[in-house]
């Protein structure tokens, strides 16, 4: 059953090593290598989101990657892709980049 009140954001959305076909949502320059679920949770919380994390889930297009997972955040007036961009920027900042 679909959850229409929350956005689901997978770690693979931010993985620089994956193709768009495999689930990456952003250009490679905006992504990081091997993003961790903990980084995703920390970045989303720094941006002010209430976060629920799910570690044991695997993204269907790359089910063999074990360090997958996703977070759920409440929907607001922004688009999902805008939120993904903000989280990616925060993860890069946390890793010491721009």
Q: How many domains does one find in the chain? A: 1
Residue 33 structural domain: 6-94
> Does residue 1 lie within any of the structural domains?
no
Residue 39 lies in a domain: yes
Give pairs for 38-41: CB < 8 Å, separation 24+: 39/91, 39/94, 39/95, 40/9, 40/11, 40/14, 40/69, 40/71, 40/87, 40/91, 41/71
Span 10-40, pLDDT tens digits: 999 999 999 999 999 999 999 999 999 999 9
Residues 67-97 have pLDDT tens digits of 789 999 998 888 999 999 999 999 999 998 7
Q: For residue 16, give both structure tokens.
A: 């620089």
Strands of the chain (E only): list them.
6-10, 51-54, 70-74
Q: Give SS3 for 31.
A: coil
41 falls within a domain: yes
Q: What is the pTM for the complete model shown? A: 0.89
CATH at residue 45 = 3.30.56.30
């Amino acid at each position: 059953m679909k959850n229409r009140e929350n956005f689901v954001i997978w770690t693979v959305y931010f993985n620089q090593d994956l193709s768009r076909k495999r689930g990456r949502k952003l250009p490679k320059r905006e992504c990081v290598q091997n993003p961790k679920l903990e980084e995703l949770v920390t970045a989303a919380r720094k941006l002010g989101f209430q976060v629920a994390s799910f570690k044991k889930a695997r993204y269907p297009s790359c089910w063999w990657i074990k360090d997958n997972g996703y977070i759920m955040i409440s929907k607001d007036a922004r688009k999902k892709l805008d939120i993904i961009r903000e989280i990616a920027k925060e993860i890069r900042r946390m890793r010491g980049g721009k």
